[in-house]
Amino acid sequence: MAEDTKYKLLRQRLVEQLRQKYPFDERVLAAIAKIPRQIFVATGLERLAYEDRPLPIAAQQTISQPYTVAMQSHLLEVKKWDKVLEIGTGCGYQAAVLVELGAKVYSIERQKELYEQARKTLWDLHYQLSLFHGDGYAGKLIFAPFQKIIVTCGAPSVPQALLEQLAVGGRMVIPVGSNGQTMQVIDRLSETEYRTTSHGKYSFVPMLEGTAEK
């Protein structure tokens, strides 16, 4: 069987598994059905790319489990043309899902090596988005406000800059906690009011301050 057909079938099987686990937004599942996850995982792990589990990428980081990517994308309720800020580009897979959902994506990664790899992977796949090497704690003020903010690393607490850069009427999806995280959805109701709801327990790599050159 041709490689492409094999991966397409594996993707369909993964999407079916996700659909059984939770009634995800079908647009999110359509994005997952389309994106070649095997290209984002580390070399040698391609055969595991469509298992519903996290996998190692470079710099001791991980690509989130497909279930987690689906849940964060679902909770984010992305609309076409939403300006979305992602903290923690990693290998770029979640960013690709956001582009498929029609968002204008800005994504920040603190590890130089990952930033460069993600840039190449996404470029090769013709995804158009803005990637930055930097510290997500600062957000990206020059492009603010964002209709949506998604944090894909475990934040000990919600960074103030991100709250400020969220548009009124906007939504942030962020795993909060140091030892295991609770998925929080934060809606900005007005200039001064936010409403937070909790959506289950997860385990993310930590959100760290500053940048790393490696």
**Residue of 15, 99, 103, 153 interacting with ligand SAH (CB under 6 A):** 153
Nearer to ligand SAH, 169 or 180 (CB): 180
**Residue of 90, 139, 170, 177 interacting with ligand SAH (CB under 6 A):** 90
Provide the token pair at 163. Answer: 């709250």
Q: CB of 106 within 8 A of CB of 143?
A: yes
**Residue of 15, 108, 149, 172 interacting with ligand SAH (CB under 6 A):** 108
Task: Rule CB under 6 A: say whether 177 interacts with ligand SAH.
Answer: no
- What residue spans of the chain are helical by DSSP H? 3-21, 26-34, 66-76, 93-100, 112-124, 160-165
Using CA atoms, how far apart are residues 74 and 35, in angstroms rounded to an integer?
Answer: 16
Catalytic residue list contains 130: no
Task: Rule CB under 6 A: say whether 109 interacts with ligand SAH.
Answer: yes
Using CA atoms, how far apart are residues 109 and 116, in angstroms rounded to an integer?
Answer: 9
Nearer to ligand SAH, 95 or 186 (CB): 95
Peptide bond before 206: cis, by omega within 30 degrees of 0? no
Residues marked active site are found at 64
Binding stretches for ligand SAH (CB under 6 A): 61-64, 87-88, 90-91, 93-94, 108-111, 114, 135-137, 152-153, 205, 207-208
